[in-house]
A = this chain, B = another copy of it.
Amino acid sequence: MNKKEIDILNVKEDIINENDENAAAFRKELTEKGVYLLNLMGSPGAGKTSTLLKTIEALKGDYRIGVMEADVDSDVDAKTISETGVKVIQLHTGGSCHMDSAMTKQGVEGLGIEDLDVVILENIGNLVCPAEFDVGAARKATILSVPEGDDKPLKYPLMFQVTDVLLINKIDAMPVFDFSMDKLKDNLKNLNKDISIFPISAATGEGVDEWTRWLKADIETWRKNK
């Protein structure tokens, strides 16, 4: 694929509202095909794309990776990701603030997964809608960045309830902002006891090793249990 020519696919929501059933069937299909799908979520500007870049760098020696960049508009993120050499497709949601499982399935068909081990969906930047829709992923990861504040779990509880792993990004900016890791953990306590938390800086690379080690181990565990 030419690095500047990005495939753009307009994906359509499931209007019959059978998302949960479709998601379960789609997850089964991906499992049978041996493709681990990660649903990466977070606010606009939390650092999803730059974290993705570091994650691809750490994983691409071990796995054949594909990326689906979901956006309301533009293809800037897909262009950035394509520079890494991994397979990438830009999905446009037509104004929708989330991806559902039907849209994700359309994306996977557009991307083509026969030669892939791991697919990462960068969801729409949003802490509300994406939390409400199971896309059929093996795992959900959410990025919260330090400048957003440690009170976000109180305001957007569902996102922090449903996610499996939480990356706290931009920890290099910690001295500039009033962010307390203890307060964050306190705010998460009643929402999600099993959550794994990784403080990282996608800019400096700090903490990225711990996160990608966890991810690799999770992919291996998933492969064994599938």
Bound Cα distance A122, B76 (Å): 30
Contact in complex: B95, A155 (CB < 8 Å): no
What interface size band does chain A fall in?
35 or more
Contact in complex: A154, B43 (CB < 8 Å): no
Chain B residues within 8 Å of A155, by CB: 44, 71-74, 76-77, 125
Contact in complex: A97, B95 (CB < 8 Å): no
Contact in complex: B129, A97 (CB < 8 Å): yes
CB-based nearest B residue for A169 = B147
- Does A152 interact with chain B (Cβ within 8 Å)? yes
- Does A151 interact with chain B (Cβ within 8 Å)? yes
Contact in complex: A126, B148 (CB < 8 Å): no
Which residue of A76, A127, A145, A147 has the most chain B CB atoms within 10 A of its CB atom?
Answer: A147
**Could you list which residues of chain A lie within 8 angstroms of chain B, going by C-beta atoms?**
43-45, 71-74, 76-77, 95-97, 124-129, 132, 145, 147-149, 151-152, 154-158, 170, 172-173, 176-177
A-B contact sample (7 more), CB < 8 A, given A72-B158, A126-B128: A44-B127, A45-B149, A72-B156, A72-B157, A74-B155, A125-B155, A147-B148
* 26 pairs from A and B in contact (CB 8 Å cutoff): A43-B44, A43-B45, A44-B127, A44-B152, A44-B156, A45-B145, A72-B156, A73-B155, A73-B156, A74-B157, A76-B154, A76-B155, A77-B155, A95-B132, A95-B158, A96-B128, A97-B128, A124-B128, A125-B155, A126-B127, A126-B128, A128-B129, A129-B129, A145-B147, A147-B147, A176-B176
